[in-house]
Amino acid sequence: MSVAALAAQIRAGKRRAAAVVEDRLADIAARDRLLNCFTEVTAARARAEAAAVDAKVAAGIDPGPLAGVPVAVKNLFDLEGIATLAGSKIERDSPPAARDGYLVRKLTAAGAVMLGALNMDEYAYGFSTENAHEGPSRNPHDATRIAGGSSGGSAAAVAAGLVPLTLGSDTNGSIRVPASLCGIWGVKPTYGRLSRHGSFPFVGAFDHLGPFARELDDLALAYNLLQGDDPEDPHQTFPGLQPVDTVPEIGGLRIAVADGHFARGGHPEAFAAVAAVAQALGATRRVTLPHAAEGRAAAFLITMAEGANLHMKNLRARPGDFDFATRDRFLAGALLPAHWITQAQRLRALYRAEVLKLFQEVDVILAPATPFVAPQIGQATIEVDGEEIPVRPNLGVYTQPISCIGLPVIAAPLADPAAIGTPEGLPIGVQIIGAPWAEATLFRVAAALAKMGVCAAPPLPRGN
């Protein structure tokens, strides 16, 4: 059942929010022992919020468009009364959040019921959610495989049906990578579109926040509700409310496929997914994003440097409390020459300007979301183009060049991944990329793909 349909039933008194919450809590207790999506289940809060929704319905008051809908958020979002972990051990010693983060408040103001916080890579620095402190989140399509990251708990919880809607963050691909590997929809809005206030930062120059859902309509509903001008976020660039819809209108749109960097460095299924989407949309033009590989390299350096700067105090005082892999990357970032970072920022600015020129010629660009399907938990390397390469950093090979210049993207799951030959029929997704503030166009393209049956969340294997 879609989010909108569930909320409509609750508003109409056909279902009670309290009963929905108890059903979700029981399911989480039974299945999350394996999947490991949740790091905190806020059962008391959920029951209280559900009771408040039911009381409003009984009094003839509309609780909102998300009336009684269970939601959960990556554990870098502030939840009142709970320490914001950001996937770390160190932050367990932090005081509880004094109030919910801005986007959390937007959801609950719309009637949503908060079920808890979700697993992630430590300090959002990773693509696999193999957390050294909480353990790995497991892919609902194959529990021996990763869910992706860093928002792995958020994606896996939606893919498994534990909750219908979650929030994540995306710095270098942390919404799009797990959405692809878990086979669900995700949106990384334009940089600055949604407030980041009340979320733990990673790289201020790249951080984005956004929702996950199994249904495109639910993703659009959540995205619309999350918009708003937040005076407490000085870095937000809010162009005014720009609601999106899921009417499949693509007539006249200039849709192209990214080549060059985005047509190499992956397994056949990554390119087959893009080809299937392009064929359905009638997209035959190919375009090159100039300096995409160099832009990705610049993103690596800026990420390392900003992350190291943010965590320098604890790197000095508590180095043993970090995940060793996170710590070593931060330490490496602290040692980077200033000259390198200056050059990386110059390259990034040049790259962004050139890509924006490209959007004078096309409206939408299609690219792979991940270079392969979900690897095994603990898998260190994978063969690509005859070369053994590290798994974790290369999961972001196609996402990093997009987020570092702030473009909006919808991660669209292939409805029938087995039809394009993915190993064991595992999910994979495609990036639908637009110019800044063009989210409405992206949702129309996604809606066309959903209507044609090309893109949708594939069903879980029987028994999952």
- Least Cα distance to 137 among 34, 210, 212 occurs for 34
Helix (H, G, I), strand (E, B) or coil at 69: coil
Within a 10 A sphere around the Cβ of 458, how many other Cβ atoms?
A: 23
- Inter-axis angle of helices 152-159 and 17-35, to 10 degrees? 120
Positions annotated as catalytic residues are 74, 150, 174
For residues 41 and 419, give the distance between their C-alpha atoms in angstroms, rounded to a whole number: 37
Concatenating the DSSP letter of every residue in 223-240 gives: HHHH----TT-TT-----
> Hey, CA dihedral for 428, 434, 439, 442, is it positive or negative?
negative
Q: Are 178 and 155 in contact (CB under 8 A)?
A: yes
Phi and psi at residue 353, to the nearest 5°: -60, -40
- The CA distance from 238 to 243, in Å, is 13
Q: Which two tokens stand for residue 5?
A: 């349909």
Say if CB 149 and CB 177 are below 8 A apart. yes
Type of residue found at 409: V
Phi, psi (5° rounding) for residue 432? Answer: -105, 110
DSSP state of 96: P
Nearest to 65, CA basis, from 10, 125, 118: 10
